[in-house]
Chains A and B, each alone.
Chain A
């Protein structure tokens, strides 16, 4: 694993007790965080200047219809009581019913989430595939033209509003050139030839051997995934560069060079392998970031995922759905943070030593 660490011989099992402690502490953290999320979302939901009954019965219902819905929503109860119910329900996985779809929020989210997952995963794959080599290259050519170019390309990724690039992308590559498919995940013509098993259409179509649909799904995925990939590439290449610079300054690199090890081996095998440890964290974090980016991307690409679900609910004042969606994303965020933390502990012997 690491050329510098003699502790490595201890094997990865040595980390277990520490991992256990860490996991316990993190569980407590998560419990508190989760409770905080609930409080925040509940409070937001109560101060919204929207009559929740209206969303249920509409504008023209008679007074008796309105009153019945008011009671059914439990709005006559005191605030702390409403929170208690909210808390109890949330803990049992019940985030309430969407006013818009009339379905439990959890069910809705389970339905739309695969679309976001597929998009974000494709994005992070593209981002990693391009970002890591570019970062390595930038580090190797530090200060040279290549480095500067990569840096600026990255900064452009940081600076452009993603929804705007998406619009222009659709205009150019779909409307004008016809290179990619339009908004949505799949053409309607194919939609009913696919049985959704995992909800990830690429996998579903491939498993069913439905290659025409597979290609269609890819054509839809190409543009939004490339965009998200570009944005994560910006971050990943930058971080890779700085990790690589740190590694390349290490003694073992000099030693290897003196020993006459080929430069490409030093860079791509030794140094990158060590830089990979913190990189995992970076990639996990930017994966989480893509979930956030999906809100704007999905709006532009009519992508039926969690981001679109959130914006839709927001525009229709469907607060249950907004808060449920926010909560779920919050939990995923915490989860990914936790995961990258744990991975870090498992992968990096130095952290283990320190703890």
Chain B
């Protein structure tokens, strides 16, 4: 070994030993909010492409939509970039007037040209979330006519049918409807891509924060937008750090290395509850945990078996133990908080009843079945618990774990027996879930759209008609009743064992206040977060 190597080695050893006596205690800077979160799902920062939880939240704090809603009462819809809107006589055309005097972080003023461009761009780029807009009859060819600027500060949006007005408004609150800075984006256009390559990793919005940096699987850094039209955020900087494990997040939170932990497990929540430096805050989310029973399976296609399965999940125990604090029992496809949500939970673990039903289905000794299980700790733990209660009624359930893409590939090819998963609504209107749980316009193997009903090969022409009727109903009360009726029927006969609704839980340092947990991730806001000393 050379002399120099020895020197370096000696220095290293000395400092490593020296450190051993100094306890490491970190503190986050007072003007910076630091959150630990599993952010590996971020694949883009472009509102026309973003569809993932984390990126939605980042955009929710850095971009603005035309309209928004009160996170405490989603039926209260108000303008954000739009000042007002009108619906035409035939219910097919919306006219929006833009608030005067707004500007983007770049300093460019916001005019009607920007939202028009943003919507046209999203439709033409046709990325994953584009269907939220194209379901109104928009496509790359007609969008220039259907979404049009009619004045400096006015624009019109025309649809192919007279949908329930709230449907469009809610869809515009989704990230795909966020308004981008036309001038800035187009200055980075290459090969007619509407600035897509650039905006994937850059920022062109008008929200309370600007996005300064995103390093995949490492960090997202936001900085205060000094040109923001609302009240300036007290925090100069907000950082998301990629920490996948809840136990690690908890340690960092306890040590004061981070301000907020976002992926705490049930055990971490319980442990942190006793810590005086930390508070736990939660809010109900729209995501639903369910099992899908493939109707191509000769056992699962029997109505009695479908019903028996609903009696073989110990909903209450799972919600009180493995998933304590993270879910509440919920058994209908519309989550609590949505228009027309059904909050009845008629099913509980009842092995005797299930056995009777199985006997009626000529399966008194049960049967063997597989369940594709995403290999996240929580889904796996739930699946294992369900596996045990199923076994009590003689159903031998074999788990087939896989990563997200793998189980999904199989699910979409309808090659599963049972799939256990989580479904999050795409926007705040009840149609988002009705569309997937209760509509299946074409049950053929090569169908163009693959809603959850299709994936489980559940052919439901009647229910599809009812869901189609509900989306055109203008009266909110009548519409809510239609959805409730739909869910009651669905709860009885569907091949979906809907089990839980998700609760988002945050572990927060005591001195951090003002984080708002909304019903969807782009409603989560740290705009008003303050730190007291």
Contact = CB atoms under 8 A, between A and B. Distances in A.
A and B: direct contact (Cβ < 8 Å)? yes
Contacts of A58: 51-52, 128
B127 A65 contact: yes
Contacts of A68: 126
Given A99-B43, A175-B251, A222-B16, A62 B126 contact: yes
Given A61-B128, A183-B251, A302-B245, 12 more contacts: A51-B409, A54-B409, A55-B405, A62-B130, A62-B131, A65-B128, A101-B216, A178-B255, A180-B19, A189-B27, A222-B19, A315-B403
Interface string A59-78: 11111110010000000000
B128 to A, nearest CB: 4
A215 B11 CA distance: 12
B406 interface: yes
B29 A189 contact: yes
A57 B49 CA distance: 9
B55 to A, nearest CB: 11
B209 to A, nearest CB: 16
Interface stretch (B82-90, B101-109, B236-244, B391-399): B236-244
Interface in A283-331: 302, 304, 308-309, 312, 314-317
A281 interface: no
A65 B127 CA distance: 6
Interface stretch (A12-20, A79-87, A122-130): A122-130
Contact of B448 (A63, A183, A304, A312): A63
B270 interface: no
Contact of A54 (B16, B217, B412): B412
Interface residues of A, number: 60
29 contacts: A49-B406, A54-B408, A54-B412, A57-B127, A60-B128, A60-B131, A62-B134, A64-B126, A65-B130, A103-B216, A108-B216, A125-B8, A170-B251, A180-B24, A182-B252, A182-B255, A184-B241, A184-B243, A188-B34, A189-B29, A218-B16, A219-B24, A222-B20, A226-B16, A308-B217, A314-B403, A315-B375, A316-B40, A317-B403
B449 A63 contact: yes
Contacts of A178: 23-25, 255
A102 interface: yes
B326 to A, nearest CB: 21
Interface of B: 1, 5, 8-9, 12-13, 15-16, 19-20, 23-29, 34, 40, 43-44, 51-52, 126-131, 134, 200-201, 215-219, 221, 239, 241, 243-245, 248, 251-252, 255, 257-258, 375, 403-406, 408-410, 412, 426, 448-449
A68 B193 CA distance: 14
Contact of B19 (A126, A174, A219): A219
Interface core residue of B127, B129, B219 (most chain A CB under 10 Å)? B127
B2 to A, nearest CB: 11
Contacts of A182: 248, 251-252, 255, 257
Contacts of B52: 58
A49 B409 contact: yes
Contacts of A170: 251
B20 A179 contact: yes
A100 B217 contact: yes
Nearest to A125: B9
Interface in A199-238: 215-216, 218-219, 222, 225-226
B128 A50 contact: no
A57 B128 CA distance: 6
Contacts of A59: 408, 412
Contacts of B248: 182-183, 302
B16 A50 contact: no
Contacts of B404: 316-317
Contacts of A120: none
Interface in A78-123: 98-103, 108, 111, 122
A125 B243 contact: no
A189 B26 CA distance: 8
A179 B19 contact: yes
B261 to A, nearest CB: 13
Nearest to A132: B1
A51 B405 contact: yes
A341 interface: no
A170 B449 CA distance: 48
A219 B51 CA distance: 38
Nearest to A185: B218
A347 interface: no
A178 B19 CA distance: 11
A49 B410 contact: yes
Interface in A27-74: 49-51, 54-55, 57-65, 68
B217 A101 contact: yes
A249 to B, nearest CB: 24
A102 B44 contact: yes
A281 to B, nearest CB: 15
A294 to B, nearest CB: 16
B262 to A, nearest CB: 14
A244 interface: no
B218 A304 contact: yes
Contacts of B221: 192
B245 A309 contact: no
A181 interface: yes
A215 B15 contact: yes
